[in-house]
Chains A and B, each alone.
Chain A
Amino acid sequence: MEAVPPISGIGTGRDDCWIPSACSLCYGTCSILAHRVDGVLVKLEGNPESAAGKGRLCGKGVSGLMTHYDPNRVRVPLRRTNPKKGMGVDPGWKEISWEEALDEVARRLKKLRGEDPRKLFIQRTTTVTSSRTPIQVFAAAFGTPNRSSAGGGLHCGNGAHLISGIMHASWSVVPDFQYCNYAVYFGASKGHSAGHASCSNMGLAAEARARGMKMVVVDPMCNFAAAKATEWVPIRVGTDAALALAMGNVMVNELGIYDAPYLRAKTNAPYLIGPDKLYARDPESGKPLVWDLGAAAPRPYDAVSSEAMALEGEFPVNGVLCRPAFELLKNHLKNFTPEWAERITTIPAADVHRLGSEFAREARVGSTIVIDGVTVPYRPVAAIAFRGSQGHVNSVYNFLAVDLLNQLVGSADMAGGCLGFNPACHGYPETGRPYFVPKAGPDGLMITGIWMAHHNPYPIGEPRMPEQIGLQDLFVLCQTSPFSDSSDREEMWDKLDLPYRPEILLNYGTNSLMSIGNKETVAGALAQFKFVISIDLFLTESSDFADIVLPDCDYLESLDSRPNFPFIFNLPGGLGEWCWPIKQPAIQPDGEQRRSSDILVELADRIGMREDLNAAFNVVLKLEGPFRLEGERKYSYEEVCDAELKNNFGAQHGLEWFKKNGVIKWPKKPEEVYWRHFVDTRVPIYWEFLPVLREKIAALAEPRGIKIPQRYYEPLPDWIPCPAHVTNGAFDLYAFYYRDIIHTNSFTMENPWLDEAARLDPYSYTIAINAGTGRKKGLVDGEEIWVETDAGRRVKGKVHLTEAVHPEGVGIAACAGHWGEGMPIAKGKGVFFNDLLEVDYDHASPVNLNLDLCVKVKVSKARGVGR
């Protein structure tokens, strides 16, 4: 591998060009045009040709220049000379050559692979979407199942992505901004912050707002989405399920408004459920049965036309009385009255009632609309959830209860409703690629057409004694696990007889010491690795535990063929254009930085796993025919990218074409956007597989002393409090964090433009407490306070007394509060919320292992000096 190949144009006369590429300040990855003049990058703008961003960038995107030119970037490979690892312990970095670095890394990895490849644990940052495929491929080729996306994945994804996947065949959900009239956001900021289709959504949401879409934002904090909301509904932290379930109750039981035809045809609502809570199944085929009203008999679900299926009633199946799932759901919802919800959420019962009624009525159940000559159901309401509502022990039910609202009125992936991000694509007209459409799987339930992780959300995997350090092969609904870093990981590994222990960590860009939870716990995990390799832009707090640091090229120096693919992740949803941009370098690195994709390919060669690597590329990129990678041939990453592009778009649309043109695009069809109306598949409003799953997991886990609480594995969503919801004396407030539009995770505080803007912002670096609450506690706006949990964890910061937060809330933005020397601009800015978090099984969802992100705290004045 040579150093970064030269970019044409430099040194060949006047250099003044605009290079189409992709942003990586957050995972939204909007398309950019980078302006280079005489070898200096002088401006970043959106690429108007691209649907990703539509020619515009948020504050983070335009500020990429200051990250690129940050003199604190790592420029040469480093090796520690101090054998002792600890937080704040100087590693004694020594500069080494690439040859030396790669040689040692490859040697160690090769040896490890020979022993047990599973001992390699790979972590990557969610921010750089281009890292996903190289890491996935490398891990597959190496033979390790142990991958994580650190805090970004652990906090954000296990609930949102699992359920969006099962219910919408997509990574996340968004209102159909073009047609939606009434959107209810539960702990989400789509269109008002970063996120999956960042700038595109900002434009779409603004347009919807201008058009008169009513946006109701349920959130403990009134910032960003809530700031622009037609109505801000302040809610007690972590109680979203209570509100959603009560709304569902109002809709179904009081008003009787629900989309019966949709439920019959597109969900498992008509499936007959026995007293054991499981499907009544056809004895021959094993398929779930429905009650055929015409024949007055139970039949397999795919043998009856949906109009004839019963949704309510009690019917005998082989002498056993069974009920349709919908009947159970309907009765179950009766438990959740608005008055009950008021006690849990602090939202007045009248408002709960009103929200449920409004949602139901605005849904216009039964109506249709013609779009581009195609008739689709018209349900202009959307209930959206994201990080906020699912970041709790009750992760699954919180998110599911919200999505249930869409399912009940039939607005899921219909015109104006709650859309997955591009679950269906019929492909580029000339080649028919990429092609993916959801389809029916076991029990008629939906399998996604495409996914991001190696394991589809449905069908549910078979639990087994774990061979992954995150135990995801036991807790099969978990994607990113806390057990790679938790305080009880050793205990869990011992109890479950994990046959090995992780030895080497390959970290790409994460700062897991900050992003996962309290630093002591994570530090303990990091210290135990025998060897840590970190590919980074900066030396972070986590770098204190690295053995070798490899300097990464940033996004303006890197190349990737698929920054916005899979489309379910970060291409704008809804009607418009399909768009496939690439990322290409706009400038050479000014030090010895190398592209991480090239580093991984080089390592693969040195380890001797080229054949496996090529095979993995073929599978992941779905390369066929002449573009398939052959045997052990040493393709460069650029060549692989070229192959993918040609494979998808034809031989004339290879890397060179894309470098000139930036993006390829073609129009979307209503049949793709509103696929659910056209595809015969169902989603579960009754999660029958949950009790089944629990049995299997409990059979393995409980004999070994790990409790699998049944309450969380019931088939219908429920309100279950988090540890924080227990009254606890002086600890009377709920601390939470929220996404800040000016920041991404723990990364952007180092960018001085963004840091400057954040310092001017009233909320960015402060601790937001309700003004009334603060005054009662004798707090003064701007003073330093301690926020402390009953476990003795505490963080300090400046308080901002504001009307814009729930009286019990303590709102802290982003993942700030750096203390390391490697990012001097970031150092000391903002508050390190995660230090309040426990990382263990008790503070995670027992179903999907999402970390519980709300904490019960008390606040007090911080007297004295210094941190």
Chain B
Amino acid sequence: MVIDLKRCIGCYGCQLSCKAEHGTPPGVFFARLLKQEEGHYPTVRQLFLPVLCFHCDEPACVEVCPTGASSKAPDGIVDIDPDECVGCRACMMACPYSQRYFLDEERHYFPGNGATPYEQARSERHPSGVVMKCNFCRHRISVGKEPACVANCPAVARHFGDLDDPTSTVSRLIKERGGYTLHPELGTGPAVYYLPA
């Protein structure tokens, strides 16, 4: 995936369309938007930084998983098998990008009122006691759609494609605009690149 920080306007569309697609419980954000101001008055800029699981080439989470529940698929997606996870949360400690979430209680968005029909329709996707995270919307890409965050971005700041194909949009953008990853010194090899603001 490529995220163009020049285009991103911090509208939270990615964070919320992801939440709407997956129905994640409170406090769980498969995609998130961070804001950081840079500089000193009056030379100030705001950096809007959307983050999500980076589906690394050398995923630190997969290395530490004792059951193999976290694994890297042939298509590159790092996914968690919710039936195999024992909930040891070592992966949460291992992920240098803090993109994994764990709940051992039921949480609803209207406390005291139980789950809304929407939350009920989505709850089975989020069993408690196991770790969960972004999976690049596998259910969407398998039918030819883009991940929800990519398809929804109003600033058209997100692109999804094959990094191994040098002619793909993502590959070209990385080359032309100098795409970079976060914390490359950790050697995780993220598959999500940022284009400079």
A58 to B154, CA, bound (A): 6
Query: Is A320 an interface position by the 8 A CB rule?
Result: no
The answer to the question of A519 belonging to the interface, with a C-beta cut-off of 8 Å to chain B, is no
B104 vs chain A, min Cβ distance (A):
20
Chain A residues within 8 Å of B9, by CB: 191-192, 202, 205-206, 224, 227-228, 741
A803 and B116 contacting across the interface, CB-CB below 8 Å: no
The answer to whether A37 touches B157, judged by C-beta atoms less than 8 angstroms apart, is no
Q: Which of B6, B13, B48 has the most CB of A within 10 A?
A: B13
A interface footprint on B38-67 (CB within 8 Å = 1, 0 otherwise): 011110111010000000000000000000
Chain B residues with CB under 8 A of A37: 121
CA distance A708 to B7 in the complex (A): 47
A3 at the interface (CB under 8 A from B): no
**Interface with B: A65-73, A462-470, A481-489, which one?**
A65-73
Q: Which secondary structure dominates where chain A touches chain B?
A: mixed
B117 — which chain A residues lie within 8 A by C-beta?
A: 40, 69
Asked whether B155 lies within 8 Å of A41 as measured between CB atoms, the reply is no
A45–B154 CB distance below 8 A: no
Partner of B46, one of A62, A223, A771: A223
With contact pairs A56-B154, A209-B7 given, residues A70 and B15 touching in the complex (Cβ less than 8 Å)? no
Encode B64-98 as 1/0 by CB contact (under 8 A) with A: 00000000000000000000000000000000000
Whether A206 contacts B41 in the complex (CB less than 8 A), given A45-B151, A46-B152, A223-B46, comes out as no
Closest Cβ of chain A to B152, distance in Å, is 5
Check A772 against B41 for contact (C-beta < 8 Å): yes
Q: A62-B152, A753-B19 given as contacts; is B10 within 8 A of A741 (CB)?
A: yes
| Given contacts A56-B153, A234-B42, A43 and B21 within 8 Å (CB-CB) | yes
Q: Tell whether, in the assembled complex, residue A58 and residue B26 are in contact, meaning their CB atoms are under 8 Å apart.
A: no
- Evaluate whether A757 and B16 lie within 8 angstroms (CB atoms) in the complex, with A69-B116, A71-B110, A825-B110 already known: yes
Whether B7 lies near A63 (C-beta < 8 A) is: no
Q: Which residues of A contact B12 (CB under 8 A)?
A: 58-59, 741-742, 754, 757
Q: Which residues of A41-83 are within 8 A (CB) of B?
A: 41-46, 53-59, 61-63, 65-66, 69-72
Chain B residues whose CB sits within 8 angstroms of the CB of A822 once the complex forms: none
As a 0/1 sequence over residues 623 to 649 of chain A, the CB contacts with chain B under 8 angstroms (1 = contact) are 000000000000000000000000000
- Residues in chain B near residue A753, CB distance under 8 A: 16, 19-20, 109
Please name all residues of chain A whose beta carbon is closer than 8 Å to the beta carbon of B35 when the two chains form the complex. 761-763
A807: interface (CB < 8 Å) = yes
Give the distance to chain B from A204, nearest Cβ to Cβ, in Å.
Answer: 9
CB pair A234–B41 under 8 Å, yes or no, is yes
A760–B16 Cα gap in the complex (Å)? Answer: 13
Instruction: Tally A-B pairs: CB < 8 A.
Output: 158
Given contacts A65-B118, A202-B154, contact A804 B37 (CB under 8 A): yes
- The docked-state distance in angstroms from the alpha carbon of A776 to that of B23 is 45
Beta-carbon contact of A203 and B154 below 8 Å: yes
Look across to chain B and name the residue whose beta carbon is closest to the beta carbon of A233.
B42
In the bound assembly, the distance between CA atoms of A72 and B35 in angstroms comes to: 31
- The distance in angstroms between the C-alpha atoms of A451 and B159, with both chains bound, is 40
CB of B181 closer than 8 Å to a CB of A: no
B40 adjacent to A803 (CB under 8 Å): yes
Q: Distance (Å) between the CB of B166 and the closest chain A CB?
A: 22
On chain A, the residues within 8 Å of B126 by CB distance are none
Q: How many residues of A contact B (CB 8 A)?
A: 66
Q: How far is the CA of A234 from the CA of B42 in the complex (A)?
A: 7
| Given A192-B9, A222-B44, A206 contacting B155 (CB threshold 8 A) | yes
B128 at the interface (CB under 8 A from A): no
Q: What chain B residues lie within 8 Å of A206 (beta carbons)? A: 6-7, 9, 154-157
- Separation of A352 and B39 alpha carbons in the complex (Å): 22
Residues B141-155 near A (CB distance < 8 A): 151-155
- Decide yes or no whether B167 CB sits under 8 A from chain A: no
Distance in Å: Cβ of B69 to nearest Cβ of chain A = 27
Would B155 and A66 count as touching, CB distance under 8 A? no
Contact partners of A232 in chain B: CB under 8 A:
42, 44-45
- A202 close to B155 (CB less than 8 A): yes
Partner of A222, one of B32, B33, B46: B46
A-chain residues with CB within 8 Å of residue B21 when the two chains form the complex: 43
Residue among B10, B32, B41 making CB contact with A807, cutoff 8 Å = B41
Alpha-carbon gap, A37 to B117, bound state (A):
11
A207 to B155, CA, bound (A): 8
Q: List the B side residues contacting A754 at CB < 8 Å.
A: 12, 16
**Distance from A95 Cβ to chain B, minimum over Cβ atoms (Å):** 18
Q: A72-B110, A803-B40 are in contact. Are A59 and B15 (CB under 8 A)?
A: yes
Which residues of A are found within 8 Å of B156, using beta-carbon distances? 56, 203, 206-207
In the complex, which residues of chain B have a beta carbon less than 8 angstroms from the beta carbon of A209? 6-7
Q: What are the residues of chain B within 8 A of A741 when measuring CB–CB?
A: 9-12
In the bound assembly, the distance between CA atoms of A761 and B42 in angstroms comes to 21
Interface residue? A697 (CB, 8 A): no
Task: Provide the bound-state CA to CA distance between A802 and B45, in Å.
Answer: 11
Q: A62-B13, A804-B37 are in contact. Are A44 and B20 (CB under 8 A)?
A: yes
Q: 24 A-B Cβ contacts within 8 A?
A: A40-B118, A53-B154, A56-B151, A56-B153, A57-B13, A62-B16, A66-B109, A71-B110, A71-B116, A203-B154, A203-B155, A205-B9, A206-B6, A206-B155, A222-B46, A227-B46, A234-B42, A741-B10, A742-B11, A756-B27, A760-B32, A771-B41, A803-B40, A804-B41
B residues in contact (CB < 8 Å) with A: 4, 6-7, 9-13, 15-17, 19-21, 23, 26-27, 32-33, 35, 37, 39-42, 44-46, 48, 109-110, 113, 116-122, 151-157
